Amino acid sequence: MQCLMDHIVLNVEDDEKMIAFYADVLMFPTERLEQYRAGKVPFPSVRLNADTIIDLFPEKLWGKSIRAGSSHENLNHFCIAVNKKAWEDLLVRLQANSTPIEEGPVQRWGAHGTGTSVYFPDPEGNLIEARYYEADTAQEKSLLGS
């Protein structure tokens, strides 16, 4: 079965800090932000591409559930793929915003073969991998950690 990733949901504690990070540092356009701030919708989103968004669930949506406080329980990390120039620009923005690179640059295998990745946290500790693919290495195989 082939499909598209529709959305990822992140439980957030500080919604404004997370919105700023995803909108200003990662440069993902916001969706429904004005409606969220006006209390008309329960959460805002940021758009990765035409097919995929990240929903930012404020604590009022998850704070009373069984999984309250365990927003990292089932998520190791998620990966965004961009071109090399956008990746380099992102590294500059991460440094300017004092966002530490936890690992990388490293070569890792993904949906389009082997790419160059860095790993960094968002303001609430969700691990994000950002990578780019070189055209000549996109078909190479690589194992995690190699």
pLDDT digits (tens, 9 = 90+) for 47-95: 999 989 999 999 888 876 644 455 445 577 899 999 999 999 999 999 9
Q: Residue 92's domain is classified under what CATH number? A: 3.10.180.10
Q: Does residue 50 share a domain with residue 29?
A: yes
Same domain? For 59 and 81 the reply is no
Does the reported pTM lie above 0.85?
no
Domain hosting residue 88, numbered range: 75-146
Among the three residues 66, 96, 115, which one is the final residue of a domain in this structure?
66
* Tokens describing residue 98: 């004092």
Tell the residue number behind the tokens 């290495």, with chain if given. 137
User: Please, are residues 25 and 43 in contact by the beta-carbon 8 Å criterion?
Assistant: no
pLDDT in tens, 86-138: 999 999 999 999 999 999 999 998 888 899 999 999 999 989 999 999 875 44
- ∠ Cα 91 96 97 (to 5°): 100
- Are both 62 and 79 inside the same structural domain? no
Query: What is the number of structural domains in the chain?
Result: 2
80 with 60, same domain: the answer is no
